[in-house]
Amino acid sequence: MMKICIVGAGVVGSYLAQKLSQEGYDVAIIDKDRKKIEEIQSQIDVAAYSCDAFDEECIGQLRDYDLFIVATNKDEINLSVALMLKAIYGKDKVIVRVDKDILSKREIETFLGVEIVNTFNEIFKNVETFIHYPFITSINELETGKFVIFSYTVKRPDFLSNTKISDLKEIRDRIPFTVVLIERDGKPYLPSGNKVLLEGDTVYILTERETLNELIKALNIQIKPVKTITFLGMSRIGISILKKIYGRGLSIKVIEEDIQLCESIASQFPDVMVLNGKITDKHLLESEQVGGSDIIISSSYREDNILSCILVKKLGAKKVIAIIENPEYEEIAQSLGIDIPIVSRKMIARKVYKRIKHRGFIDIFELKENIRIYELPVSEEIEDRKVSEISTGKFVILGVVRDNKMKMVSGEFLLKKGDKLIVLEIEETEE
């Protein structure tokens, strides 16, 4: 099993250490903060070292590790450690986390010979999708964005409302797509031909990115353009998002408790309304009619982040996006009515899984709790076999990528060498 060393025991590093250790990898983690290391040692079965990555003895004792993930919260430190690993120790497998756009450019990645994961870019891709397609509640990309799995809540007069899945055949013949999963009253269901989709169901759909607009039109999904956005609290991520969307003709409002940060935002973005106050001040939220915004983005990372989202939902907010650090809060946030919790740590973990070819998969991500999506190549063992021989109740082939095109498959579909399978797997849970 691959030996993986993580530099930095903050929120990202500790999460990766936990996930990779659970998957059976030999994991080591280093950080000069002794308290963080002691906390990890008490919770996770990994080799944890309290030392400075720039101390030769610190990294030296881990020189035989296969992959290094540099994930402190400081970009400059991460790139410096990566450079040291490449130049002094000759390590060819290094993944570096950065937040700044300028440091994630392809030229820097090529020059250093490392793989750079930009936390902000991953978050903004999602936020931008929700602005363009406000009906979407989640989106995941496959094949570098060529294919997507998106979810949305069925409403009238959508074509899917009160429609049998088998009745979608005529549209599927024109536009390749498949219903991946149905969520009803908080419970996930695998789709079957006679299943009727109801108003209020959350439906997960796999399709090609280039046919997304055509599919939306065919399913008669209503799109109301986003005109107003309110930020509840600010952080580096929030300011980065604001920079990207500023000047697009949107009416933008910011509520932030830190007066100095408010002054800085007001000077940088003169067309943005900036209000100094607590994001949990119900009177302020009501008086500013925050509930009427098309999209709310809560990016403060503070403890009051989720509470403020709950408040604005009660005030009638249409869509609330909460950028949160702890993956354990994701299901809680959704159960409390928060539309879109974005967990940056899970995005970084997915990049790492892709890099290490986890369990032989090309890609892997968690669609819902205990439900994973895999992309994997057709092996010799299943070559020339029918889909019906491979697909089981908890291991479902959703589609096949052949010659860079999506194939919607039936049980009689014959798998060939060079095909890639997109698979849904439901993990066994203890009762």
CATH class of 347-426: alpha beta
Distance CA 279, CA 65 (A): 45
* Reported pTM: 0.84
* pLDDT by 10s per residue, the chain, length 431: 789 999 999 888 998 999 899 888 999 999 999 999 999 999 999 999 999 999 989 988 999 999 999 999 899 999 999 999 999 999 999 999 998 888 888 899 999 999 998 888 888 988 999 999 999 999 998 887 889 999 999 998 899 999 999 999 999 989 999 999 999 998 999 998 899 999 999 999 999 999 999 999 999 998 999 999 999 999 888 999 999 999 999 999 999 999 999 999 999 999 999 999 999 999 999 999 999 999 999 988 776 888 899 999 999 998 999 988 776 777 778 777 888 888 877 777 777 777 776 566 777 788 887 898 989 899 888 999 999 888 877 789 999 999 988 888 888 899 999 999 999 988 765 54
Distance CA 323, CA 247 (A): 22
pLDDT at 368: 84
Whether cis (ω within 30° of 0) applies to the bond prior to 191 is: no
pLDDT at 357: 63
Distance CA 260, CA 245 (A): 22
CATH class of 3-113: alpha beta
Distance CA 77, CA 268 (A): 27
When the candidates are 3.40.190.10, 3.30.70.1450, 3.40.50.2300, 3.40.50.150, the CATH number that belongs to 136-218 is 3.30.70.1450
pLDDT at 431: 44
Fold of 228-346: Rossmann fold (3.40.50)
Share of the chain above pLDDT 90, in %: 62
CB neighbours (10 Å) of residue 243? 13
Q: Where are the domains of the chain?
A: 3-113, 136-218, 228-346, 347-426
Domains 3-113 and 228-346 share a fold: yes
CB neighbours (10 Å) of residue 305? 24
pLDDT tens, residue by residue, 158-179: 999 999 999 999 999 899 999 9
For 367, list phi and psi in degrees, rounded to 5. -80, -50
pLDDT tens, residue by residue, 215-239: 999 999 989 999 999 999 998 889 9
Q: What is the largest CA-CA distance in the chain?
A: 66
